[in-house]
């Protein structure tokens, strides 16, 4: 019995020592990471990631790991071996994503280890889906290197030029993007009657740098199209941490929409200029009052209205007796000048714009500065008009030169009195003396 107890106590003691050793190992790993400066694996962090990876012409294999992750710990010897084999050919790095959560979040890291290949386009790294042996890692690196060389031979951009405008410090810097801080945010954004789209960025963030020219271009375009009613701003979240914390910023770039008196909402759209502009125009349409809808009474109305606006929308409506109502165009995309005329009242205008081939009602958008126009070819409905104008606003519409190269002659007409049309009054015919039985069958 004593022998059995002795053996049992010995096993408990040995197990306790193993557990203590394991805990000590984990504690050391959590402080020091899985790689040391003597390894050929480059230790990456938010402070050096942009410089080492994003601005580099080299191909990079980057592992995002957590020190407590068993799979990550088992990968260490093969990752080191691959790094040594690829030294001078392909760069191999590692990010402690448990410590640097923002960097992992920037690249959508959800599990460990995650390996990404930063190749010809550094802004769009590829996920590594291969094996975890050193040989599999090296083979994947060589294949990626061949692709990088082919891209360069074909003249494709490497995407590593992440230069910023001087003094920008990050996400967006052109004059039409407002620099927002802890001190001016409430007064500039929250107390404004305008709609604000605000980018929270970090200077080291590659995605933020990629967004910068698109954000700046969208700001310039929206300044003109919305007359400053939708504005774009940018916050350096690494400097103005109180502001970033207030809005729960966890990754970069994060874009939020602010409307007076409402809770901010996340922007979930694309990152291109056209995507940003399209969403901003929707916001503008939702918040703007109905524009003035002018009847085209004479030539001065057409010229003044169209020459003073980037786009002039002309609706050619059926005769009032055919419709009974004026379609609610004034409620749709409040961005341009709006005119309407009755079908047949301005035939030279209809001819110069090719209106009539699709029937009435019809709609055309004119750019009087370029003397180009586009026709609504979809449905004359809220949805159809909305899509037509949104496509035009982001440059996707099909255009043609205005017939004659100038605005056509406009006939002077009497203004609509605002009343529904009245059918002409006809004389009453007394049919009381007509005997239907007297009509022959062949006359029926």
- Give catalytic residue positions: 69, 72, 205, 208
Decide: 79 and 94 in contact? Cβ < 8 Å.
Answer: yes
Three-state DSSP at 23 gives helix
Sign, Cα dihedral of 175, 180, 186, 190: positive
Neighbours of 351 (CB within 10 A): 13
In order of 155, 186, 314, 316, 327, the CA distances from 344 in angstroms are: 55, 54, 14, 9, 18
Three-state DSSP at 57 gives coil
Three-state DSSP at 154 gives coil
Structure-token match 């500039």, residue found: 188
Q: What is the DSSP string of 303-356?
A: HHHHHTSS-EEEEEE--HHHHSS---GGGS-TTSEEEEEETTT-HHHHHHHTTT
Six token digits for residue 328: 């609610």
Task: Give the residues across from 232 on adjacent strands.
Answer: 177, 197
Provide the pairing of β-strand 177-180 with 362-367: unpaired
Six token digits for residue 84: 């040594």
Provide the pairing of β-strand 126-127 with 293-295: unpaired
**Nearest-angstrom CA–CA distance, 215 and 282:** 17
Neighbours of 68 (CB within 10 A): 13
Q: Which residues 6+ apart lie within 8 Å of 299 measured at CB?
A: 409, 410, 412
Q: What is the DSSP string of 235-304?
A: EETTT-HHHHHHTT--SSSEEEEE-TTS--EE--S-SSHHHHHHHHHHHHHHHSPPPPEEE--SHHHHHH
**Nearest-angstrom CA–CA distance, 355 and 296:** 16
Q: What is the DSSP string of 89-145?
A: TSEEEEEETTT-HHHHHHTT--SSSEEEEE-S-TTSPEEP-S-SSHHHHHHHHHHHH
């Amino acid at each position: 019995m004593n022998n059995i107890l002795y053996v049992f106590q010995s096993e408990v003691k040995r197990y306790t020592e193993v557990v203590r050793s394991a805990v000590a190992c984990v504690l050391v790993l959590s402080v020091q990471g899985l790689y040391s400066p003597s390894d050929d694996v480059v230790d990456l962090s938010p402070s050096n990631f942009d410089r080492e990876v994003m601005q580099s012409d080299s191909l990079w294999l980057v592992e995002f790991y957590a020190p407590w992750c068993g799979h990550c710990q088992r990968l260490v010897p093969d990752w080191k071996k691959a790094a040594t084999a690829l030294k001078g050919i392909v760069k191999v790095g590692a990010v402690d994503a448990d410590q640097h959560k923002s960097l992992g979040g920037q690249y959508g890291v959800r599990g460990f280890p995650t390996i990404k290949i930063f190749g010809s386009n550094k802004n769009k790294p590829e996920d590594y889906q291969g094996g975890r042996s050193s040989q599999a890692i090296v083979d994947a690196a060589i294949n990626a290197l061949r692709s990088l060389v082919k891209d360069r031979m074909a003249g494709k951009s490497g995407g590593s030029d992440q230069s910023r405008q001087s003094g920008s410090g990050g996400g967006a810097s052109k004059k039409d993007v407002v620099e927002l801080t802890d001190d001016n945010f409430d007064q500039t954004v929250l107390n404004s009657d305008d709609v604000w789209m605000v980018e929270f960025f970090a200077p080291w963030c590659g995605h933020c740098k990629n967004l910068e020219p698109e954000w700046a271009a969208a700001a310039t375009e929206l300044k003109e199209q919305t007359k400053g009613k939708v504005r774009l701003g940018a916050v350096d979240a690494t400097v103005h941490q109180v502001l970033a914390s207030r809005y729960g910023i966890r990754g970069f770039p994060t874009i939020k929409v602010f409307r007076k008196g409402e809770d901010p909402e996340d922007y979930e759209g694309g990152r291109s200029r056209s995507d940003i502009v399209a969403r901003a125009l929707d916001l503008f349409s939702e918040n703007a009052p109905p524009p003035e809808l002018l009847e085209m009474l004479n030539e001065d109305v057409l010229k003044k209205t169209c020459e003073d606006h980037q786009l002039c929308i002309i609706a050619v409506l059926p005769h009032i007796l055919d419709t009974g109502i004026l379609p609610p165009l004034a409620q749709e995309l409040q961005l341009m000048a709006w005119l309407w005329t009755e079908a047949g009242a301005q035939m030279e205008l209809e001819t110069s714009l090719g209106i009539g081939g699709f029937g009435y009602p019809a709609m055309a958008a004119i750019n009087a500065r370029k003397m180009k126009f586009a026709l609504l070819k979809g449905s004359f409905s809220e949805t159809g008009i909305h899509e037509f104008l949104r496509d035009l606003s982001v440059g996707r519409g099909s255009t043609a030169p205005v017939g004659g190269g100038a605005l056509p002659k406009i006939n002077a007409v009497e203004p609509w009195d605002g009343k529904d049309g009245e059918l002409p009054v006809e004389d009453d015919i007394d049919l009381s003396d007509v005997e239907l039985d007297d009509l022959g069958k062949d006359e029926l």
